[in-house]
C-alpha cells in the first residue's frame, strides 16, 4: 500500500502591524496646508470617513467592464501613453461615477490658491507595467501623467478650481503604489507653501483578488516589498510562500498554514477512501470556489513508486464541502487503486495572469 507522511509544525504568532483596508465608491484626495507648522495634511474623503492615505487601498475587480475595471486599449497613436499594444488589457479607475473605487481630487482647501499642482514622483507595481492619469474630452485623451516614457517634470496635474475626477490607468493587474508631490501658493500674497517631507503621499491600488489579499494582510511599510509581501516570499518563515497561503486561505504572518483569524489548519491532508470496494488515496484541501476570479489554478498530481516515474495530473472530485461564499473544502481521489508500493501526491498552484 502507498504510504504517506505528515509534518507537524509548532505554532508561533507574530505581532502584525495594521494592514490596509479598502475604500470604495466616491473618494476624494484632499490636501491642506498648515502655514504655522509649515506642513501638508493629506486625507482621503469619503461619505462618512476622513482617512489617512497610508491606511487604505483602492480595490479594482479583475473583470471586464461593467462587471469590473478591465478594459482594452483603443486603436490610434494618441493612446500610446497607456503603455500597452492596441487591444491590450488595461485596468482603469474611471472618471465616471460607475467605478468600484471612484477616486478624484477634492476642492482646493482654504489658504491655498489654484491651481494646486500634483506631480508624479514614483510608481511601484508589477514588472513591465505602466501607470497613466488622464481624462477624455470629445473622444480624445488629455494626458497628465504617464510612465510609458519615464517620469519627468511634465508628469503633473495642475488642478484648477473645483472638484475633479480623472482616469487612473494601470497596464497590469496586481499591487500598485503611486507617489504624488503637491505644491501650491498660499492665498493673501503669502508666497508658495514650503516644501518638505509632508508634501508627498503614497496611494495604494489593488487590482484583482490576489492583490486585495496582499493589501489586507500587509501594512503600508511592507505591502510593496517583494521580499515580504511578494508571491514567493515567506515572511513568517514557515515554509509556505505567500502564494500558497493565498491559495489555501492561510495567514501569511502566522507560522504554520492556518486559516485566517483562526487556529484551524489550512494545510492539505492526505487520506484513504473506499471506492467500489477498493482503497484509493485522497488529498483534501481548501480552495477558492472561483479559482478563475482568484487568479490561480489548482493542479493535483500523483506519482507511483519511489522511482521518478513522472507526475500524472488528474483525480476525481470525491467530496466538496462549502465553507462560505469564497471557500470550499474539496477531496480529490486518485483514480488508481492503492498498491503496496509507496506513492506521492502534490498540489501545484499556478497563477493565471
Domains of the chain: 1-17+239-353 (2.60.40.10), 21-217 (no CATH)
Torsion of CA 90, 95, 97, 99, to 10 degrees: 20
pLDDT at 1: 38
Cell of 109: 482647501
Residue 7 pLDDT = 33
pLDDT means per 10 residues in the chain (353 residues)?
A: 35 58 95 91 91 96 91 98 98 86 93 95 98 97 98 97 96 98 91 89 98 97 98 95 96 86 86 94 96 95 79 94 95 91 90 82
| Residue found by looking up cell 519627468 in the block | 152
Other C-beta atoms lying within 10 Å of the C-beta of residue 152:
12
Which residue from 47, 67, 46 is spatially nearest to 58, judged by alpha carbons?
46
For residue 74 the three cell numbers come to 483603443
Half-sphere exposure of 346 (CA within 13 A, CB side): 10
Looking at residue 352, its pLDDT comes to 84
pLDDT at 306: 67
DSSP H or E stretch at residue 338: none
List, in sequence order, the alpha helices (H) in the chain: 209-217, 226-229, 242-248, 291-294
Q: What angle do CA 8, 286, 176 make, to 5 degrees?
A: 100
Q: Cα–Cα distances in Å, from 169 out to 11, 133, 148, 301?
A: 42, 6, 12, 39
Q: In what order do the strands lie in the sheet with 140-146?
A: 70-72, 89-93, 167-170, 131-137, 140-146
pLDDT number for residue 118: 98
Amino acid at each position: 500500500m502507498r504510504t504517506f507522511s505528515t509534518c507537524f509544525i509548532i505554532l508561533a504568532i507574530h505581532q502584525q502591524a495594521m494592514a490596509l483596508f479598502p475604500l470604495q465608491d466616491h473618494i476624494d484626495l484632499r490636501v491642506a496646508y498648515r502655514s504655522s507648522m509649515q506642513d501638508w495634511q493629506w486625507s482621503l474623503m469619503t461619505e462618512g470617513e476622513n482617512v489617512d492615505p497610508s491606511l487604505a487601498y483602492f480595490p479594482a475587480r479583475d473583470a471586464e467592464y461593467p462587471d469590473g475595471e478591465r478594459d482594452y486599449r483603443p486603436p490610434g497613436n494618441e493612446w500610446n501613453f497607456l503603455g500597452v499594444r492596441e487591444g491590450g488589457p488595461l485596468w482603469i479607475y474611471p472618471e465616471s461615477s460607475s467605478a468600484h473605487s471612484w477616486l478624484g481630487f477634492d476642492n482646493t482647501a482654504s489658504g491655498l490658491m489654484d491651481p494646486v499642482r500634483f506631480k508624479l514622483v514614483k510608481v511601484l507595481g508589477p514588472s513591465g507595467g505602466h501607470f497613466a492619469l488622464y481624462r477624455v474630452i470629445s473622444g480624445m485623451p488629455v494626458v497628465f501623467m504617464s510612465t510609458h516614457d519615464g517620469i519627468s517634470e511634465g508628469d503633473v496635474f495642475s488642478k484648477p478650481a473645483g472638484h475633479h475626477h480623472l482616469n487612473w490607468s494601470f497596464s497590469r493587474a496586481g499591487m500598485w503604489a503611486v507617489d504624488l508631490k503637491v505644491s501650491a501658493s498660499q492665498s493673501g500674497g503669502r508666497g508658495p507653501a514650503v516644501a518638505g517631507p509632508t508634501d508627498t503621499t503614497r496611494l495604494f491600488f489593488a487590482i484583482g483578488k490576489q492583490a486585495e489579499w496582499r493589501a489586507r494582510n500587509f501594512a503600508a511599510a511592507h505591502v510593496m516589498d517583494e521580499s515580504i509581501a511578494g508571491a514567493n516570499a515567506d515572511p513568517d518563515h514557515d515554509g509556505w510562500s505567500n502564494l500558497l497561503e493565498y491559495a489555501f486561505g492561510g495567514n501569511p504572518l502566522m507560522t504554520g498554514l492556518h486559516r485566517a483569524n483562526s487556529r484551524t489548519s489550512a494545510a492539505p491532508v492526505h487520506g484513504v477512501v473506499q471506492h467500489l470496494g477498493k482503497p484509493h488515496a485522497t488529498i483534501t484541501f481548501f480552495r477558492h470556489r472561483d479559482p478563475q476570479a482568484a487568479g490561480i489554478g489548482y493542479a493535483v498530481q500523483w506519482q507511483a513508486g519511489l522511482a521518478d516515474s513522472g507526475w500524472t495530473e488528474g483525480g476525481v472530485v470525491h467530496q466538496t464541502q462549502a465553507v462560505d461564499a469564497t471557500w470550499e473544502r474539496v477531496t480529490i481521489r486518485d483514480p488508481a487503486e492503492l498498491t503496496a508500493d509507496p506513492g506521492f501526491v502534490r498540489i501545484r498552484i499556478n497563477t493565471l495572469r
